[in-house]
Amino acid sequence: MRAEKCASIADVPLQVAAGTTGFIWLNALLLRTLHHWIGVPYQFDTMSHSMLVQASVSVFWTLCALAMMIWATRRASRLVWFIGGALLAATVVKLFLFDLSHVTGIERIVSFIGIGLMLLLIGYFSPLPPKVVVPETER
């Protein structure tokens, strides 16, 4: 039993590296799609000032965090759940620092309500998985 547990712990860095690579690739795919379909120039400065690109990235990150946290709850993986929570926290920080600084009036109200609803959905569908308690005999 302990050998199986050690083998799964040794795979964690590989899984994190694969997940990070996949996340970066999907972000690049999103940006390239917006470049081709919407016509936003594929340059950092232009994309960072495009509200459509920033909103798309925020929604994508929130959906990724939601998927990770629901998957982690179903698999009882606290590490993946915390990574999803960190991604969600990064999205909220991005929204407050970058996205909402350019938005005023009704758009800001709608953004706050939308963010709040997504956070409520995440809290409802993916509570933190319980800690795995190791019996005294296996320690």
Is residue 29 in a domain? yes
Query: Which residue type, as a one-letter code, is found at position 36?
Result: H
Q: Is residue 108 part of a domain?
A: yes
Confidence of residue 3 (pLDDT cuts 50, 70, 90): very low
Q: Is residue 135 part of a domain?
A: no
Name which residue leads in pLDDT, 49 or 103.
49
* Domain presence at residue 89: yes
Those residues whose C-beta lies under 8 Å from the C-beta of residue 77, and which sit 6 or more positions away, are 71, 129
The total number of structural domains in the chain stands at 1
Does residue 137 fall inside a structural domain?
no
| Structural domain includes residue 36 | yes
pLDDT band at 1 (very low <50, low <70, confident <90, very high): very low
∠ CA 30-86-100, rounded to 5°: 60
Q: Would you state the pLDDT for residue 125?
A: 82
* Distance between CA atoms of residues 34 and 51, nearest Å: 12
* Euclidean distance between CA atoms 69 and 118, whole angstroms: 12
Contact between 68 and 81 (Cβ < 8 Å): yes
> What is the pLDDT averaged over residues 41-66?
88
Q: Kindly state the average pLDDT of the residues 11-38.
A: 92
Residue 6 in this model has a pLDDT that exceeds 60: no
CB atoms within 10 A of CB 57: 21
| pLDDT tens-digit series, residues 77-113 | 888 899 999 999 998 888 888 877 777 777 677 777 8
Q: Are 102 and 90 in contact (CB under 8 A)?
A: no
Domain housing 14: 2-129
Residue 74 inside a domain? The answer is: yes
- pLDDT tens readout for residues 109-130: 777 787 788 888 888 888 888 7
Residue that is written with structure tokens 């929570």 in the block: 85
The residue ranking higher by pLDDT, 66 or 103, is 66
Per-position b or e across 107-131, b if 16+ CB within 10 A of its CB: eeeebeeebeebbeebeeebeebee
pTM for the model stands at 0.79
Per-residue tokens: 127? 């509570």
In this predicted structure, the answer to whether residue 33 has a pLDDT above a threshold of 90 is yes
- Domain-located, residue 60: yes
